[in-house]
């Protein structure tokens, strides 16, 4: 399913912006020795540092230009909060990275557009909470967004063990890719201009690629990135099925796909204001006030699967019937 | 209305602070976050145009001084130390990489380490070898410049309230901004949720540890958070979220075309920038024009969103002063660069002692303005106490920035 519809125009904007954004990572490979177009070689990194935040903002605005459904937006905010809370758990311990696990699973369940937004909002919220805003943030946001987008684009038909296996493999791949791109971004800044591992403006692409490969292998691939890939894959395998079930249950309860129709008011007593499930209009027979409102018949199975875990946590399995606190 | 009430409060609370109009301007209040960011970006711009270590150290000292005098107790304000440590790490990394992978250029040999040639797959690269003063100093200057820019951004982080900044995002980013605000508000509730689930587990005598306990806690917390999101959505619906203004189809098509055309321009400009054979017009001008067109389209698309603001931040004289200080610092540094570029980029070979000109000192003085010009932060009367001691700090700081991690002892207001 896809919570956020990606219109063709949005897809084109996304592709164009991603292509331009990729250049802000890979410019050391291609930058000419004496660019006529820029006054000084030193300007190129600054131009890209300014350009990328604008590109990220453009894509985010375009993705949400159709208006995000309130349920999708609340889900986005809550999942971003969970991700932001998970992130510091791994910081400090070398290579334990806990962000990608939920990002991959949520992107898988809620679709590519939602995955993209979740990647950006998660890292932005996490940066604000632990105060890590800096020039690196837009680059991290974009990389994480690509990870979420890719998870949403995996083949939809897979279920069960095959799905978990594919997700674990993708998580490991994405973890390596993220590390590689962030290294590539940091490469010119961490080394400066004249060590043997620095990029050489105007050198052949393969030559620079070789230097970068050595740099990334020496600094992080075998330590940090491998740790991140293993953590993500193991977390997906261990907790994946249960988390996928929880996310799918939430998606069914929210009834994102339901067309909202308005019917003439029936002469029934008015329902209480706090109808627990906002997706109420789905109920096919117009039974708006029944106790099981909004839980489509197909969703029952999901609820039953879930009740065991929910009871274990002291939720009583009846959280969907409990009076809801008004959120502020 | 708020201003009027505040003015009365000020006159009643601080009669000794002088005439009423002055005390109203000096009221403790949060500054517009945009003003702090403009000031910090001005400082970062100034830092990016010099490698003079004395000037850079002065800029770091100014940023630290302003943070110490004008920050609040909010969590984001306490992370300034992290940026200082990060800056120190960057400097150390540059120097260490120069020593390990450096080519060994320079006349003044510091020490001669044994060379280690790497195996075939890393052909052409050797480790260690002779270490020259010029080489290490070059790395230090470059690293210090980057670290100073970082510390300036860290100052903006510590001083500007991110939640108020999110309120000022353009309409097109309103939905995403709202999602981030939701995330920031929900994150503390997760802690409460974890405590609740753990208490329920203990009441039922569940003493499982390790993986089982993690599952028993993590999954209910996740389910709780997801349920909470549905309740939140219902609350947002009932308060009128998602109301959009009617925008004619023609205008929507025009904004779409602006965004698309701008992005095509950005792609072409980037290609022109990186292409060695490209002609000049394809490069930077094309890229900037594309960005401007696309951003215009985005801002126009934001007209669709209708929202009201609760207590919006306004640009008053203090905000203008703070932002102006940052811009003045950047402009004065650029001016100093055009007068004497060799003093802003002191050469490492031949080795020369860096100098500071009056123009540079003027830039630093402008940068330090907000430490006194900005109104004190709300809820911290103690920040006004050490006024007498701080000018000494500003002068003494350059000698201490050699170790940035410790240059803010007693950093708590």
Model ipTM value:
0.72
Asked if residue B381 and residue B347 are part of one domain, the reply reads: yes
**B209 lies in some domain:** yes
Exposure string for B141-168, b = 16+ CB within 10 A, e = fewer: bbbbbbbbbbbbbbbbbbbbbbebbbbe
Average pLDDT estimate for A194-211: 71
Distance CA(A197)–CA(A229), nearest Å, equals 25
- Taking one residue from A and the other from B, the number of pairs with CB-CB distance under 8 angstroms is 323
CA of B13, closest CA in chain A: separation in Å? 34
Of B82, B142, B263, the CB nearest to A192: B142
Asked if residue B222 and residue B132 are part of one domain, the reply reads: no
- Kind and range of the H or E element at B178? helix B174-203
Is B226 in the A-facing interface, judged by CB distances under 8 Å?
A: yes
Between B33-48 and B317-339, two packed helices, what is the crossing angle to 10 degrees?
10
Asked if residue B127 and residue B12 are part of one domain, the reply reads: no
pLDDT of amino acid A146? 92
What's the mean pLDDT when you consider all of chain A? 72
For the purposes of burial, counting CB atoms within 10 Å of the CB of A294, is it exposed (0-12), middle (13-18) or buried (19 or more)? Answer: buried
Query: Is residue A297 predicted with pLDDT exceeding 50?
Result: no
CA of B4, closest CA in chain A: separation in Å? 29
Range of B212's domain?
173-238
Query: Is residue B3 predicted with pLDDT exceeding 70?
Result: no
Of B93, B153, B270, the CB nearest to A190: B93
**The residue to which tokens 């709202």 are assigned:** B178
Highest-confidence segment of B9-13, B170-174, B294-298: B294-298
Listed range (A48-62, B119-133, B189-203, B244-258) with the worst mean pLDDT: B119-133
Of A13, A46, A128, the CB nearest to B76: A128
Residues of A with Cβ-Cβ distance to B270 under 8 angstroms? 20, 23-24, 51
**B311 lies in some domain:** no
Is B217 in the A-facing interface, judged by CB distances under 8 Å?
A: yes
**B14 lies in some domain:** yes
**B243 lies in some domain:** no
- Closest listed residue to residue A328, CA positions, set B189, B197, B177: B189
Asked if residue B339 and residue B282 are part of one domain, the reply reads: no
A65-108 per-position pLDDT tens digit: 777 788 888 888 889 888 887 776 655 444 456 778 888 999 98
What's the mean pLDDT when you consider all of chain B? 76
Q: Where are the domains of chain A?
A: 8-254, 272-320
**B387 lies in some domain:** yes
Among chain A residues, the shortest Cα distance to B292 is held by: A54
Highest-confidence segment of A8-22, A56-70, A277-291: A8-22
Residues of A with Cβ-Cβ distance to B273 under 8 angstroms? 35, 37-38, 44, 47
Domain-terminating residue out of B246, B269, B304: B304
Q: Is the separation of the CB atoms in B134 and B103 below 8 Å?
A: no
Distance CA(B186)–CA(B177), nearest Å, equals 14
CB contact under 8 A, A131 and B79: yes
SS3 of residue B111 by DSSP: strand
Asked if residue B349 and residue B226 are part of one domain, the reply reads: no
Identify any residues that bridge with B132 across adjacent strands, giving them in sequence order: B109
Q: Is the separation of the CB atoms in A177 and A215 below 8 Å?
A: no
Asked if residue B85 and residue B202 are part of one domain, the reply reads: no
Work out the percent of chain B whose per-residue pLDDT is above 70.
77
Residue B18: left (phi > 0), alpha (psi -120 to 50), or beta? left
Query: Is residue A206 predicted with pLDDT exceeding 70?
Result: yes
Listed range (B103-107, B194-198, B374-378) with the worst mean pLDDT: B103-107
Asked if residue B56 and residue B134 are part of one domain, the reply reads: yes
Structural tokens at position A109: 């369940």
B333-346 per-position pLDDT tens digit: 888 888 887 787 87
Other residues' Cβ atoms within 10 Å of the Cβ of residue A24: 22
**B309 lies in some domain:** no
Work out the percent of chain A whose per-residue pLDDT is above 70.
64
Residues of A with Cβ-Cβ distance to B223 under 8 angstroms? 246, 249-250, 306, 309-310, 313, 315, 319
A231-261 per-position pLDDT tens digit: 888 888 888 888 888 888 888 888 777 776 7
Distance CA(A175)–CA(B220), nearest Å, equals 27
CA of B7, closest CA in chain A: separation in Å? 31
Q: CATH number of the domain at A8-254, please?
A: 1.10.1760.20
Q: How many domains does chain B contain in total?
A: 4
**B337 lies in some domain:** yes
Asked if residue B220 and residue B177 are part of one domain, the reply reads: yes
CB contact under 8 A, B176 and A120: yes
Query: Is residue B62 predicted with pLDDT exceeding 90?
Result: yes
pLDDT of amino acid A271? 52
B374 secondary structure, DSSP code: S
Average pLDDT estimate for B255-284: 77
SS3 of residue A105 by DSSP: helix
Of B157, B181, B187, the CB nearest to A84: B187
Structural tokens at position A324: 């809801």
Average pLDDT estimate for A288-303: 41
Of A30, A67, A276, the CB nearest to B274: A30
Is B47 in the A-facing interface, judged by CB distances under 8 Å?
A: no
Q: Among residues 72-131 of chain B, which lie with CB inside 8 Å of chain A?
A: 75-76, 78-79, 82-83, 90, 93-94, 97-98, 101-103, 105, 122, 124-126
Asked if residue B198 and residue B120 are part of one domain, the reply reads: no
**B46 lies in some domain:** yes
Query: Is residue A8 predicted with pLDDT exceeding 80?
Result: yes
pLDDT of amino acid A261? 75
CB contact under 8 A, B179 and A80: yes
CB contact under 8 A, A195 and B234: no
Listed range (A191-195, B178-182, B333-337) with the worst mean pLDDT: A191-195
Of B162, B173, B237, the CB nearest to A57: B173
Residues of A with Cβ-Cβ distance to B203 under 8 angstroms? 314
CB contact under 8 A, A71 and B172: no
CA of A171, closest CA in chain B: separation in Å? 20
CB contact under 8 A, A324 and B234: yes
Q: Is the separation of the CB atoms in B273 and A34 below 8 Å?
A: no
CA of B250, closest CA in chain A: separation in Å? 15
pLDDT of amino acid A51? 84
Among chain B residues, the shortest Cα distance to A323 is held by: B231
Q: Which residues contact A132 (CB under 8 A, 6 or more apart)?
A: A126, B79, B82
């Amino acid at each position: 399913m896809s919570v956020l519809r990606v219109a063709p125009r949005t897809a084109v904007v996304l592709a164009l912006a991603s292509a331009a954004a990729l250049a802000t990572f890979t410019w050391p490979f291609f930058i000419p020795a004496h660019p006529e177009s820029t006054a000084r070689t030193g300007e190129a990194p600054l131009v890209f540092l300014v350009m990328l935040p604008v590109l990220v903002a453009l894509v985010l605005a375009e993705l949400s230009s159709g208006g995000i459904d309130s349920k999708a937006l609340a889900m986005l905010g809550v999942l971003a909060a969970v991700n932001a809370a998970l992130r510091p758990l791994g910081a400090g311990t070398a290579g334990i990275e806990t962000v990608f696990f939920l990002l991959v699973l949520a992107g898988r369940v809620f679709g590519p557009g939602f995955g993209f937004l979740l990647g950006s909002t998660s890292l932005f919220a996490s940066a604000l909470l632990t105060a890590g805003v800096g020039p690196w943030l837009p680059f991290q946001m974009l990389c994480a967004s690509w990870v979420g987008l890719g998870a949403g684009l995996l083949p939809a038909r897979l279920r069960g063990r095959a799905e978990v296996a594919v997700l674990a493999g993708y998580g490991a791949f994405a973890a390596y890719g993220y590390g590689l791109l962030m290294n590539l971004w940091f490469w010119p800044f961490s080394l400066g201009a004249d060590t043997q591992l620095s990029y050489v403006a105007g050198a052949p692409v393969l030559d620079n690629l070789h230097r970068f490969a050595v740099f990334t292998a020496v600094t992080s691939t075998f330590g940090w990135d491998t740790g991140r890939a293993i953590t993500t894959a193991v977390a997906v395998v261990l907790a994946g099925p249960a988390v996928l079930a929880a996310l799918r249950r939430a998606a069914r309860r929210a009834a994102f796909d339901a067309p909202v129709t308005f019917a003439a008011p029936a002469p029934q007593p008015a329902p209480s204001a706090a109808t627990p499930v906002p997706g109420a209009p789905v109920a096919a027979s117009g039974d708006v006030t029944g106790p099981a409102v909004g839980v489509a018949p197909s969703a029952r199975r999901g609820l039953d699967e879930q009740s065991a875990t929910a009871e274990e946590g002291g939720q009583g399995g009846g959280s969907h019937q409990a009076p809801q606190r008004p959120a502020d | 209305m708020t201003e009027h009430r505040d003015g009365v409060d000020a006159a009643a609370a601080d009669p000794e602070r002088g005439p009423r109009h002055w005390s109203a301007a000096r009221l403790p209040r949060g500054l517009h976050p945009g003003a702090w960011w403009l000031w910090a970006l001005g400082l970062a711009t100034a830092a990016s145009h010099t490698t003079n270590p004395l000037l850079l150290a002065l800029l770091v000292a100014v940023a630290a001084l302003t943070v110490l005098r004008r920050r609040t107790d909010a969590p984001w304000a306490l992370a300034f130390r992290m940026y200082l440590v990060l800056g120190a790490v960057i400097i150390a990394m540059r120097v260490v990489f120069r020593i390990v992978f450096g080519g060994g250029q320079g006349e003044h040999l510091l020490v001669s380490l044994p060379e280690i040639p790497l195996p075939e797959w890393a052909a052409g690269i050797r480790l260690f070898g002779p270490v020259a003063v010029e080489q290490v100093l070059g790395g230090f200057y470059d690293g210090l410049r980057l670290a100073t820019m970082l510390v300036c951004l860290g100052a903006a982080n510590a001083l500007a309230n991110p939640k108020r900044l999110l309120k000022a995002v353009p309409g097109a980013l309103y939905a995403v901004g709202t999602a981030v605000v939701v995330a920031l508000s929900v994150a503390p509730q997760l802690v409460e949720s974890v405590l609740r689930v753990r208490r329920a587990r203990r009441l039922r005598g569940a003493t499982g540890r390790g993986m089982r306990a993690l599952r028993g806690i993590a999954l209910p917390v996740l389910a709780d958070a997801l349920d909470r999101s549905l309740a939140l959505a219902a609350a947002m619906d009932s308060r009128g979220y998602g109301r959009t203004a009617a925008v004619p189809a023609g205008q929507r098509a025009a904004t779409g075309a602006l965004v698309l055309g701008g992005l095509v321009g950005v792609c072409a400009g980037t290609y022109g920038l990186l292409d060695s054979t490209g002609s000049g017009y394809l490069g930077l001008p094309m890229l900037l024009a594309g960005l401007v067109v696309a951003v215009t389209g985005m801002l126009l698309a934001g007209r669709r969103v209708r929202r009201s603001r609760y207590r919006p931040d306004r640009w008053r004289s203090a905000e203008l002063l703070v932002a102006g200080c940052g811009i003045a610092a950047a402009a004065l540094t650029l001016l100093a660069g055009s007068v004497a570029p060799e003093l802003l980029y002191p050469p490492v070979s031949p080795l020369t002692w860096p100098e500071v000109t009056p123009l540079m000192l003027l830039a630093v003085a402008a940068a330090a303005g907000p430490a006194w010009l900005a109104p004190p932060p709300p809820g911290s009367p103690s920040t006004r106490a050490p006024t007498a001691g701080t000018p000494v700090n500003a002068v003494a700081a350059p000698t201490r920035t050699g170790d940035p991690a410790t240059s803010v002892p007693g950093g708590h207001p």
